[in-house]
Amino acid sequence: MAKVQVLNVAVLDNPSPFGNPFQFEITFECMEDLPEDLEWKIIYVGSAESEEYDQVLDSVLVGPVPAGRHMFVFQADAPNTGLIPESDAVGVTVVLITCTYRGQEFIRIGYYVNNEYTDPELRENPPLKPDYTQLQRNILASNPRVTRFHINWEGSADKMEDSENVDPSPNISSMLPPSCIPGKMPPLGLMPDNSMDCM
Amino acid sequence: MKLLKPSWVSHNGKPIFSVDIHPDGTKFATGGQGEDSGKVMIWNMAPVLREEDEKNENIPKMLCQMDNHLACVNCVRWSNNGLYLASGGDDKLVMVWKRAAFIGPSTVFGSSSKLANVEQWRCVTILRNHTGDVMDVAWSPHDVWLASCSVDNTIVIWNARKFPEMVTCLRGHTGLVKGLTWDPVGKYIASQADDHSLKVWRTVDWQMDANITKPFSECGGTTHVLRLSWSPDGQYLVSAHAMNNSGPTAQIVERDGWKTNMDFVGHRKAVTVVKFNPKIFKKKQKNGSSPKPGCPYCCCAVGSKDRSLSVWLTSLKRPLVVIHDLFDKSIMDISWTLTGLGMLVCSMDGTVAYLDFSLDELGDPLSEEEKNSIHQNIYGKSLAITSTEAQLSTTIIENPEMLKYQQERQNSAQTNIGPGCAGPESSAPKLNSVMNGESLEDIRKNLLKKQVETRTADGRRRITPLCIAQLDTGDFSPALFNSAPILPSGSSMSNQLTSQLSSDSSPGQASSLGLRPSHDPMLTSPPASSIAKGLEDNKDGVKPCLLLTSASKIEPMKALDSRFTERSKATPGVTAAISSTAGLTPLDSRPKDGISALKDIKSKEDTSSDSEDKMATINKNLSFSKRKPELLMDGGEVVEKRKKGRPRKEKMAAPIAQPFTQITPPAEREPSRVAAPPAPVAALKLPTPSIKKAFSLQVSMEPSVFLEVENEVSVVAGSKLSQLRCSRDGRDWNTLLPSSVVTAAGSSDVLAVACQDRMLSVFSSCGRRLLPAIQLATPVSAVHCSSHFVMVLTAGATLSVWDVQKQKALVKNESLLTILSGADSTVSQSLLTQQGVPVIGLSNGKSYCFSSSLETWTLIADKGDSLVQCADFRSCLSTHDAPASSGPLAVMQGRNLKYDINIKSPILNTSVFLQIKCHKEVSLKNLSGPCSAGRLASRLSSTPHHLQQSMTLAFLENQLASALTLQSAQEYRYWLLIYARFLVNEGTRRPLFKVFTLSRD
């Protein structure tokens, strides 16, 4: 059973200009005192097409965490515009908040983010090169997508107690399986099958 | 009788395994399967009872749902005082729940359903001891103990006043324990298991009082649960599934002498659950008739796999009512209301039904006084006597728990007089606020500025979170009622919810409450309600439509969706997770139970030297005694062979959770070809398969790979071409070979094809030729593939194994003469494990594997081994370990062993076996000293235990060594567990210590 339950994430300063820092107020509850810190990360997905453009905006350690209910504000700088493909600057993308304990990710909270020009003129005729100063970032805070993973709270990642526990456990039924994504292969790593069959 | 199926009580169509009505009758709990976890749900009873409440949208139906169990919940039970809920599930855990002190989130964060949790139930303790699925839990009278039973064959008694303390573990069942019931008098607990027995245990010394087997001897283990029940007067115990004249029954067991003369018959399939009405009834007095003192009787509901429900009165010979087709699937659990007139039934089909009886139908329930006087008359003292403290104090104090209970009752009775009698429900919430009266709103405004942020030594940001509430977990003492909750004004976090769902909550309290249960919490919140505010923030902040209408972006959004569920690459274990779904052998695909197989093997490697020496000596003794005839021929070599193999470490890193492919050699598969003329080479020892025009085989299930061979499809320039066609997951490829194909084999990774010209070709399952053709010295006898290993057995009795991936030979032309010599036996079976360990079974019943690290043949199984016949470890077997029977060791040892396990009376059979054995050979010389066969047998019947123990130990140690050599992690674990259990059961402390030191590191 997960020792840490995220109870709420409030998106602060939203909507806001593109350059403003992200601010999430996170409320979580912990079943018992945690001997180690939690590590939180904000990941900005620069492009839907490739994980290459993912930016870890910041990561913080949170601790000590005694049993009880806690809250903190996680603030992270806006993404580096230089790393975002120009074609993906305007439109819908995703920002992720992940939390890991002892190197194991146990929750992933995703929000859709819409970046749009506020000026109707620009909206109609967007400039070829995105003008980030005019962009507004709007996080769809009412619809977080939360995926929880079972992890081994007692030990580190290499001691996963149960293969069943590894499977991602999305609690949103409408989620598409990763295989639906064109041109994106799951990171199959060192599969011998793969290495053999590169024809 | 009224019947209702409230359709809103559902686990989204998933099976509901358990139902229990709260003692106060206001709510009930269900347990079962959730989306990806076990699920416990708490429901409001009012909408079930009254139609107007069902229609009233202000009355919540679902009160709380808890997804904390990792796997299916098999049982939910309220404590008798209603304060706690216990749940047990397939995740081997028992969780105990308590109403939370402060309001939690009104919804589960991120959950798609917007249903609010009206009540907050928090898991206050997790009871871990079972090594298998927990099937049933039961609170003792007065909640002194909580009992849980499991498929690990044990029953654990927990100290319910001091969780997670364990009082005892009841061992004795030899099958999955699937039901529990406490004696209302307090003297016994009864359990029913798949081992065809119902056992009654005393609570005084926790020893078995009765073992009832006769009515269950015909039963098969076909039911998911066996929920038995004890009548409220304590006189009868009624079992679940029993058989009488090959018809399913519910057996009535009389308390007096545990007689089994009566049963409830009529169900067409096994009875899964029996539940007595908590009330004792007497016949309703009809107007005008003379007040004849009718005999009190009990009422019992029986649910069955045949989907029907029957309700019986012990005063009637026939059932009061039988309801067929109430459900689409088996009935799983029944719960009566404390009033005795209502009953909830749940089914595997995911629905529940409510039955409402009238007094006319059941009779007049006896009052508590009348019930007490019955108990008083029958038992003198009984825990079922409830009315006064005075009576309780006269109860015989049978153990410390009861004494403690009695003292506590007296204490609480005194404190109750003090600060006004608050009910346990309303007093349960106890808040420890740390906010010093500051409102949460103020805190939130300044949180970013105020929160402490430091830098760690390596320059990383570290935030100290603000603690806004402490937990009140671990509070199991009966609540002291003088601790008034501290309620910081305006903070919704601290607001507590009244337990009463109707509007009669005390006005004083209600004024300080932010939320009222009968309202939607999100709408009625006072200005400071933080969670609701948070949600409002969100709503105000965004215009969702704005975001989601950009049609041009639908494609990338689909792509983005995956990001929500995929773990980041940085997370360790992610590759393992993915490759496990791809059917490989990753690190994490380990057996479910606590100690991982990998660990077992590793620890085995670290065996302390003295234990290893001991094992070695035992092994030597055994091999000497057992294989004397061979010893004469082969000299000292035999002892050498028996040395324990030490497989290479890097191979150990891949545990054997995956099935291995096993293909019997063609010689055996097609008997017609056994007689085929031997190939021209004179030195041939092994049969070769004959050439067929065409054949096909399926080499792998997942992914499905089919192989088709057609010889002599065409003749080009004098050479006959053969075609090899392969279909992998629907994709086809084919290739041509210049010679006729003799035999072929494959795994999900590789295909190996042996041709008449003694060429072996190896392809990937996608059609790429992985190696140039390999020239073999003699024609092929058998080919096996497993994972990325290829094994070839040639007619010249040599064995080769290649690792295709590393392009390395593991076994190089190893001669089988070593194992074939001396005996006129041939190879009857050969296989290759997933780890590339070749195993050869001979027609004389011996099986060998070639250890590439030792470069020697090791004997892993011998069907003629007397130890196999004599070893008795049945008491240490638990059925849920059964998967190990599919490992390579089990395959080679075959049905012999299994048959042996099934023999019912161990000692008798062993002596018979021994007699036979002793006439045949002098195999037991070393163990029992020189004595004639007859004397041995007679000695055995008088003192069989010592000898048998030694033999079993020796056998188990053999098994361990064999499993280790085969690198069969699962089987190693399986045998190690049996070994450990056997040592525990036999009380042999010294070797057990050894096992512990093994498994510790």
pLDDT digits (tens, 9 = 90+) for A47-65: 877 888 889 999 999 988 8
The nearest CA of chain B is from the CA of A30 a distance in Å of 9
Interchain CB distance below 8 Å, A138 and B543: yes
Based on DSSP, count helices (H) and strands (E) in chain B, helices before strands. 28, 48
pLDDT at B607 over 60: no
Give the pLDDT confidence score for residue B891 in this predicted structure. Answer: 72
The dihedral through the CA atoms of B487, B490, B495, B497 has a sign that is positive
| Beta partners for residue B903, in sequence order | none
Condensed to tens digits (0 to 9), the pLDDT of residues B926-945 reads: 333 333 333 333 334 444 56
Give the pLDDT confidence score for residue B834 in this predicted structure. Answer: 81
Higher pLDDT, B417 or B229: B229
Interface test with A, best of B567, B766, B803 (most A CBs within 10 A): B567
The radius of gyration of chain A's CA atoms, rounded to the nearest angstrom, is 19
Interface test with B, best of A8, A24, A52, A60 (most B CBs within 10 A): A8
Interchain CB distance below 8 Å, A98 and B466: no
Q: Which residues of A touch B592 (CB under 8 A)?
A: 162, 164
* Range in A141-145, A155-159, B5-9 the model is least confident about: A155-159
How far apart (Å, rounded) are the C-alpha atoms in residues B255 and B184?
A: 12
Query: Any idea how long chain A is?
Result: 199
Give the pLDDT confidence score for residue A143 in this predicted structure. Answer: 84
How far apart (Å, rounded) are the C-alpha atoms in residues B464 and B456?
A: 12
pLDDT at B801 over 70: yes
Residues 6+ away with beta carbon under 8 Å from B442: none
Average pLDDT over residues A99-123: 91
Give the pLDDT confidence score for residue B413 in this predicted structure. Answer: 52
Interchain CB distance below 8 Å, B571 and A103: yes
Contact B881, B152 (CB under 8 A): no
Nearest to B448 among A73, A112, A145 (CB): A73
Give the pLDDT confidence score for residue B27 in this predicted structure. Answer: 93
Higher pLDDT, B32 or B415: B32
Give the pLDDT confidence score for residue A16 in this predicted structure. Answer: 93
- Closest by CA to B99, choosing from B497, B478, B481, is B497
How far apart (Å, rounded) are the C-alpha atoms in residues B90 and B73?
A: 6
Nearest to B471 among A64, A67, A160 (CB): A67
- Closest by CA to B944, choosing from B905, B994, B975, is B905
Q: Which residues of A touch B71 (CB under 8 A)?
A: 164
Higher pLDDT, B788 or B986: B788
Burial class from Cβ neighbours inside 10 Å (0-12, 13-18, 19+) for residue B115 reads: middle
Based on DSSP, count helices (H) and strands (E) in chain A, helices before strands. 2, 11
pLDDT band with cut points at 50, 70 and 90 for residue B289: low
| Beta partners for residue B485, in sequence order | none
Condensed to tens digits (0 to 9), the pLDDT of residues A152-167 reads: 887 655 444 444 444 4
Interface test with B, best of A41, A140, A150 (most B CBs within 10 A): A140
Burial class from Cβ neighbours inside 10 Å (0-12, 13-18, 19+) for residue A182 reads: exposed
- Side chain identity at B291, as an amino acid letter? P
Average pLDDT over residues B133-147: 93
* Range in B215-229, B277-291, B544-558 the model is least confident about: B544-558
DSSP states along B672-740:
GGTTSPPPS-TT--S--PPP-SEEEEEEETTTTEEEEEEEEEEEETTEEEEEEEEEETTEEEEEEESS-
Condensed to tens digits (0 to 9), the pLDDT of residues B323-351 reads: 998 899 999 999 999 999 999 999 999 99
Distances (CA, A) of B269 to B60, B215, B247, B317: 37, 15, 8, 20
Burial class from Cβ neighbours inside 10 Å (0-12, 13-18, 19+) for residue B990 reads: exposed
pLDDT at B574 over 60: no
Interchain CB distance below 8 Å, A163 and B568: no
pLDDT at B694 over 90: no
Give the pLDDT confidence score for residue B901 in this predicted structure. Answer: 31
Choose the most confident range, by mean pLDDT, from B698-712, B821-835, B961-975: B961-975
Give the pLDDT confidence score for residue A155 in this predicted structure. Answer: 67
Q: Which residues of B touch A144 (CB under 8 A)?
A: 109-110
Cβ atoms within 10 Å of B947's Cβ, excluding its own: 18
Interface test with A, best of B540, B565, B785 (most A CBs within 10 A): B565
Give the pLDDT confidence score for residue A146 in this predicted structure. Answer: 84
pLDDT band with cut points at 50, 70 and 90 for residue B696: confident
How far apart (Å, rounded) are the C-alpha atoms in residues B608 and A112?
A: 57
- Closest by CA to B491, choosing from B521, B519, B529, is B529
Q: Which residues of B touch A142 (CB under 8 A)?
A: 535, 538-539, 542, 544
Q: Which residues of A touch B764 (CB under 8 A)?
A: 196-197
Give the pLDDT confidence score for residue B908 in this predicted structure. Answer: 31
Interchain CB distance below 8 Å, A70 and B468: yes
Cβ atoms within 10 Å of B488's Cβ, excluding its own: 18
Give the pLDDT confidence score for residue B900 in this predicted structure. Answer: 34
Average pLDDT over residues B46-65: 88
The nearest CA of chain B is from the CA of A57 a distance in Å of 13
Contact B430, B101 (CB under 8 A): yes
DSSP at A88: G
Higher pLDDT, B873 or A40: A40
Q: What's the whole-model pTM score?
A: 0.49
Give the pLDDT confidence score for residue B733 in this predicted structure. Answer: 83
pLDDT at B925 over 70: no
pLDDT band with cut points at 50, 70 and 90 for residue B371: confident
Give the pLDDT confidence score for residue B611 in this predicted structure. Answer: 41
